[in-house]
Amino acid sequence: MRRNRWKMLAGVSGCMAVIMGAIGSHTVADAYMATLVEKAAFYQLIFAVALLWTSGASPSANPIAKLLFLMGTVLFCGSIYVKALAGWPHATAVAPAGGICFMLGWLAVAFL
């Protein structure tokens, strides 16, 4: 059952990435902010696939990597979305922590 939850999260994240990419391309008027949204959507899509890949292994495989990928998506991509769509310029203060989560997630894949 747990593995299905991770797959569901991966699928929802991938769907959201496509939606956010479309929003960035078609509804954000400011070119710089549209680029930010598209970049965040790109990263979210990559990590949705990574989350799906890690959830396809046994339920106990890479639990740290899965959690780090999810945290990275929320912190990195989420903060960029908030900055671009809500106009909160300081939202990206947590983006570096999300990037670190992404990096640590890949290291967890490599070494755990």
- Write the single-letter amino acid at 43: Y
Q: Would you state the pLDDT for residue 1?
A: 47
- Which of 51, 53, 99, 56 minimizes the C-alpha distance to 75? 99
**Is residue 34 within a helix (H) or strand (E), and if so which, with residue range?**
helix 31-55
Q: What is the pTM of this model?
A: 0.89
Question: In a 3-state reduction of DSSP, which class is residue 109?
Answer: helix
Q: Is the pLDDT of residue 60 over 90?
A: no
What secondary structure letter does DSSP report for 91?
G
The model's pLDDT over 30-59, given as tens digits with 9 standing for 90+, comes to 899 999 999 999 999 999 999 999 988 665
Helices vs. strands in the chain: H and E counts, helices first = 5, 0
Question: Structurally, how many domains does the chain consist of?
Answer: 1
Instruction: Find out whether 30 and 65 touch, Cβ atoms under 8 Å.
Output: no
Q: Would you state the pLDDT for residue 58?
A: 60
Structural domain boundaries, residue 56: 2-111
